[in-house]
Amino acid sequence: MKLLIINGSPKLGINNTSILLDKFILGFKENPDNTFQICRMNTKETYQKAVNEFVDADNILIAFPLYTYSMPAGIKLFFESLEHYQKKCHGKKVAFLVQYGFVEATHARPLEKYLAFICKILECEYMGTIIKGGCDGLSRNQIGAKKILRGMYEIGKSFGACGKFDYDQLNHYSAPEVTKKMNRLLVKIMFWAINKFYWERAFKKNGISVKESFAKPYGE
Amino acid sequence: MKVLVLNGNPKQDYPEFDLYLEQLKNFCDEKDIAVELILLREFDLHNCIGCYSCWLKTPGICFHRDGMELLIKKYLAADIVILASPIIMGFVSSLLKCFNDRLILLGHPFLYLKNDRMAHVPRYAHYPQTVLFLDDPKYAESDCFSLIESVYQRSSREFKKMFTTKNNIQEIIDEITHY
Ligand SMILES: Cc1cc2nc3c(=O)[nH]c(=O)nc-3n(C[C@H](O)[C@H](O)[C@H](O)COP(=O)(O)O)c2cc1C
């Protein structure tokens, strides 16, 4: 299979989307018949380039982070640029990868339905969406994220072998759908630790005190 | 009572949508409800680039100084914000989504439990009530509306309800002024 991979992370530099894509590609390439091409899409110029490449390709994987429970504005702009291609994408197969910070899969379910809907109006084949939460900080801590990265490789491998997703594998990878109701005290302690050891450290690195981090520049 | 209408219609060639919001504004004016109508496409807003400057470097302030400052001030000063957009390719416009993405600076990175769910601590003490206002294009399948609503219910602070151009202006205003 020849696969066009569109990375739509809005970030300018290193991004979690590309770290996951690297693993996917490693698995995908296990099949020597497979080739791929990567298109970075995060600026006005590259949206148009991505549209052109999308139109020319047969198999496409579109990857991006979840922004406020849906696609980032830039990905939406890309979809809007495809308005003239509605009903004209027969024969194309499109897959998606959506990753984000919060752990539960449920956060991405409305978006997943939307992505299937987009394929329907373009009249291309919807292959499915890889959904993975808990991906914040991948770029800083790849060792702690071993399982996430390994899983991505495995998905790339089976996709590369069969030319389609194994839905059981995707569901297994996205789990948990919702986290079990944990002891509230335990959760509070966990948040306290994240705030203290992750965020406060990040403030400090930037020369910001906790008090300053609560600045209200635009009102009360 | 202050109402802010943010019109996220990106299309010059779709004046009907703008006109509907003008009528809504005129209706408020007649009723002596303070209302401001802002056309987002007249701003040149950058998309959020996920740099987290607004959390870690210049708390509460975006890296892009492109007029968003003014919009945030108006947003926080309003009692009710109407987020308006035509449905394009089954979702709100990229223009309105850009505004929504950039509201990340209204939050603080710290986590807390809100109604037994994980959430970010609010930066400000008060936020306006928000409603969505969409058009009702022929092709819009009922699916679109429920999808958009579920996204906004989850993501927006103080999200109340979704209206469309099918709703009567008087009904909309009567309802939102009672929040
Ligand atoms: C504006 C904005 C909105 C976000 N919204 C969500 C969200 O709704 N849920 C979530 O779990 N993570 C959210 N995130 C976190 C990103 O999805 C997460 O950091 C992701 O791994 C970033 O991917 P990237 O590095 O490839 O850009 C948001 C981040 C930003 C900047």
pLDDT score at B8: 98
Question: Does residue A21 surpass a pLDDT of 90?
Answer: yes
**What is the average pLDDT score of chain B?**
94
Domains and CATH numbers, chain A: 2-174 (3.40.50.360), 184-213 (no CATH)
pLDDT score at B44: 94
Class of residue A45 by CB neighbours under 10 A (exposed 0-12, middle 13-18, buried 19+): exposed
Q: Does A218 touch chain B (CB under 8 A)?
A: yes
Smallest CA-to-CA distance from A10 within A53, A52, A73, A54 is with A73
Question: Does residue B24 surpass a pLDDT of 70?
Answer: yes
Q: Which residues pair with A132 in a beta bridge?
A: A99
Kindly give the distance from the C-alpha atom of residue A105 to the centroid of ligand 1, in angstroms, as a whole number.
14
pLDDT score at B152: 95
pLDDT score at B115: 83
pLDDT score at A51: 97
Q: Does A8 touch chain B (CB under 8 A)?
A: no
Smallest CA-to-CA distance from B94 within A107, A44, A4 is with A44
Question: Does residue B141 surpass a pLDDT of 70?
Answer: no
Least confident of A125-129, B122-126, B142-146: B142-146
pLDDT score at A44: 86
Q: Does B14 touch chain A (CB under 8 A)?
A: no
Kindly give the distance from the C-alpha atom of residue A178 to the centroid of ligand 1, in angstroms, as a whole number.
18
User: Residue A82: its chain B contacts at CB < 8 A?
Assistant: 89
| CATH class belonging to B2-176 | alpha beta
Residue among B52, B63, B98, B104 to mutate when testing ligand 1 (max atoms within 8 A of CB): B104
- Classified as helix, coil or strand, A123 is coil
C-alpha–C-alpha distance, residues B119 and A191, integer Å: 10
Average pLDDT over residues B62-69: 96
Give the one of B101, B110, B112 whose C-beta lies nearest to A73's C-beta.
B101
Residue among A6, A41, A67, A130 to mutate when testing ligand 1 (max atoms within 8 A of CB): A67
pLDDT score at B116: 80
pLDDT score at A181: 76
CA A219-B4-B9 angle, 5° bins: 125
pLDDT score at A61: 98
Residue where the block lists tokens 């099918």: B166
Look at B59 and A202 and tell me if their CB atoms are within 8 Å: no
Question: Does residue A82 surpass a pLDDT of 70?
Answer: yes
User: Residue A50: its chain B contacts at CB < 8 A?
Assistant: none
Give the one of A10, A121, A212 whose C-beta lies nearest to B59's C-beta.
A212
Nearest ligand 1 atom to the CA of A138 is 21
Instruction: Write the pLDDT tens digit of every residue in A49-78.
Output: 999 999 999 999 999 999 999 999 999 999
A166 close to A94: Cβ distance less than 8 angstroms: no
User: Residue A218: its chain B contacts at CB < 8 A?
Assistant: 60, 69, 72-73, 76, 124
Instruction: Write the pLDDT tens digit of every residue in A104-116.
Output: 999 999 999 999 9
pLDDT score at A76: 98
Residue among A38, A100, A198 to mutate when testing ligand 1 (max atoms within 8 A of CB): A100
pLDDT score at B47: 97
Average pLDDT over residues B46-69: 97
Kindly give the distance from the C-alpha atom of residue A86 to the centroid of ligand 1, in angstroms, as a whole number.
29
Instruction: Write the pLDDT tens digit of every residue in A182-203.
Output: 788 998 999 999 999 999 999 9
pLDDT score at B140: 61
Average pLDDT over residues A76-94: 96
Question: Does residue A137 surpass a pLDDT of 90?
Answer: no
Class of residue B23 by CB neighbours under 10 A (exposed 0-12, middle 13-18, buried 19+): exposed
C-alpha–C-alpha distance, residues A118 and A128, integer Å: 12
pLDDT score at A201: 96
Average pLDDT over residues A165-189: 91
In this prediction the ipTM stands at: 0.95
Inter-chain Cβ pairs, chain A and chain B, closer than 8 A: 144
Instruction: Write the pLDDT tens digit of every residue in B105-124.
Output: 999 999 998 888 788 999 99
Q: For chain B, what percent of residues have pLDDT higher than 70?
A: 97
**What is the average pLDDT score of chain A?**
95
